[in-house]
Structure 1
Amino acid sequence: MTPVVSVIIPASNEGQYIGACLRAVLASNPLPRHTLEVLVIANGCTDDTVAVATRFSAMAEPRGWGLRVLDLPTGSKIAALNMGDQHATGAIRVYLDADVIVSPDLLAELTVALASDKPRYATGTPRIPAPASWVTAQYARFWQRLPFFNSNAAGFGLFAVNAAGHARWGHFPDIISDDTFVRLHFTPQERTQVSAPYDWPMAEGLARLVRVRRRQDQGNAQLAALFPKLMQNDDKTQADGWALLKADPVGFGVYATVSGLVRLTRRRDSAGWARGR
């Protein structure tokens, strides 16, 4: 039997984005010695996410690939990820945000990178599409200078593991930052960033940037509190603030403004999965 690569896409009210995401996945170049199954886990949707995703079965079938759309009544990314794992049949698992656009070679390169009996984690090379708003353009330009963005295999929006890697956690706990949780189960030597890119859009506008940044900070603090042993695999380096300021004073100012507003509004937290668009 041909081995399977499973792509798991949690989607909550992603009708505007899921079509482009699936079109890119299903246009991927052939996978070496593997076939593909795609699982869209709609959760808490009140829009047309399910209907849009279901229409892409016609694009998968001629290639001998599978597409299933599962519908959860409650909006929960963690519940969607766990349901995806329950239904996935592939030893290689690719976890993909519904607004991410993969390049044609990415899934094939991930398949090769994860072809090991040892635990392995892999992701692609992230690209930030040109933002529509001025404030997000400044923030995004500066953010791409930070050590985290330029670190090996950061994995935001898209990460993949093989069977031995997935066995390290098995079931997603109730956490905010699923991507960081998974990445920190692997040492830097066990993580690979392939050259094929993927597009990861950034939240538009100051209020949404603050909302997303607050959730990111909450997620990191939560992981440090609940899983302190994982933090030994965190290889982030400290940013040189003075050098960053000199290189991009406007971007630095916008980034500092977002950071300051997060601190000022940190008590106004909201529960649930928020992408911040």
Structure 2
Amino acid sequence: MSTFTDAVVVVTGGATGIGLALAREAAARGARVMIADVEDARTAVESLRADGATVDWSQTDTSDYSQVKKLTEATIERFGAVNVVCNNAGVGVAGALQDVDPDEAKRLFDVNVLGMFHVIHAFAPLLKEAAARGEPAYILNTGSEHSLGVPPHVMPMSTYTASKYAALGLTDTARRDLKDFGVGVSLLTPGWVRTERISALLAADPHAAAAIAPFAQEPAEVAAAAFDGVLKGTAVIATNPHSRAFAMEHARDLMADIQALPLLDGPNDHAHDGTGDASRCPFSQG
């Protein structure tokens, strides 16, 4: 696929923020768009329609699987197919693990992790059908630079970081599980983005503005990079150059610890390092 012309793109969490930017970018590239959001998305829909987009919406709480299934049905009823699912709905909670209210943490994991799983699970059959017809079929999960390591922010967002690590795992496993069906899966990993919520924070808090504003990207910039990455088949679509240093440091530390493991003394020494026969490893499947 080289364009999104006439593709059907579903965007969860699409009423505002990165989700709305994704919906707007998809429409600008010729796609028909279904927005899903737990909040009222009529303002977003009216704005997109004013720009000529073909768009509808369905009120959906992705933490409730039955509502996600209804979203699949509404999308098929309205557009007849699904080609791209932007699995974008998410919430944030600030604070260290030991300080976060457990009920707030549960809600975060219900949306950011279980909700992401719900969307993958519910839409996978429709995407497999699209691929079988020779149509484009993609999942774009919205992670974060928090998926790449623990950002060196003054204010910890530990439960949020943990949930975005989970987004990386969900993306990697979905890519493996759906690859043979022709469904591509990518992870979007932006840093700070000037969404409505972040813009309000920057306007109200000079200290936050000084810490965040120099690094924040515009939602439209992130959305354009997201769809460019999907078209290229990029596994992890990082958008902010300021994520590079701590993400690379995390990756190097991880590899250093793993490489410290001794090699096995036998023919399967390299079964999982890419240089041997993984089919002979006792943990290999098949």
Structure with the larger RCO, 1 or 2 (CA within 8 Å, 6+ apart): 1
TM-score (norm 1): 0.37
Higher helix fraction (1 or 2): 2
TM-score (norm 2): 0.36
Higher strand fraction (1 or 2): 1
Answer with 1 or 2: which has the greater Rg: 2
